[in-house]
Amino acid sequence: MRLHVCAVGRLRAGPERDLADDYMLRFDRTGRPLGLGPITEHEVEDKKNLGMVAEAALLERAIPSGALLATLDERGRVMSSPEFAEQLARWRDAGRQDVAFVIGGADGIAPALRDRAEFSLSFGKMVWPHMLVRVMLAEQLYRAATILGGGPYHRV
């Protein structure tokens, strides 16, 4: 099952980029034998600063055709890491070919795009900078792969 991180903004060189790259590489190595991966980033930029609706149009073009749409949103479901791992496994086992995790810009995801999502995930009630959300998602994907593979990374 291919995973796609479709995000507004570009992660430039720096600590966030380094962390995201590290966790995505770890995920690819750990997830491939489990039928998870590869993971691909699709970065979009609203260079004209037209707002959420323009960002949503760019994101929609980045989402692969037929992909399950999963948003990262403060209104989404709060899950434990093992629950998230189980969700990934259910999608994989149901034959989903692509899952697109969508991360909006500073103002979030336009309601029309958010309403199309089959799944929405929240990293808690706090609002996180969208660049950190990308790192947190990459880490949780890697953690999920280690949980599903029975690895020692995740501890209760």
Domain boundaries, the chain: 2-149
Rounded Cα gap, residues 67 and 25, in angstroms? 22
Predicted local distance difference test score (pLDDT) of residue 153: 87
Instruction: Kindly give the confidence (pLDDT) of every residue in the chain, 156 residues in length, as a single tens digit, with 9 standing for 90 and above.
Output: 999 999 999 999 999 999 999 999 999 999 999 999 999 999 998 877 778 899 999 999 999 999 999 999 999 999 999 999 999 999 999 999 999 999 999 889 999 999 999 999 999 988 888 889 999 999 999 999 999 999 988 876
Q: Give phi and psi for 116, each to the nearest 5.
A: -80, -15
Give the dihedral sign, CA 51/56/57/62. Answer: positive
The CATH class of the 2-149 domain is: alpha beta
User: Which two three-digit tokens encode residue 58?
Assistant: 């760019």
Predicted local distance difference test score (pLDDT) of residue 154: 80
From the number of C-beta atoms within 10 Å of its C-beta (0-12, 13-18, 19+), residue 30 rates as buried
Q: Which residue has the tokens 């037209």?
A: 50
Query: How close are the terminal C-alpha atoms of the chain, in Å?
Result: 26
Predicted local distance difference test score (pLDDT) of residue 7: 96
Predicted local distance difference test score (pLDDT) of residue 15: 94
Predicted local distance difference test score (pLDDT) of residue 27: 97
The radius of gyration of the chain from alpha carbons, rounded to an integer in Å, stands at 15
Angle between helices 130-149 and 15-31 (to 10 degrees): 20
Predicted local distance difference test score (pLDDT) of residue 156: 64
Residues comprising the chain, all counted = 156
Rounded Cα gap, residues 66 and 100, in angstroms? 10
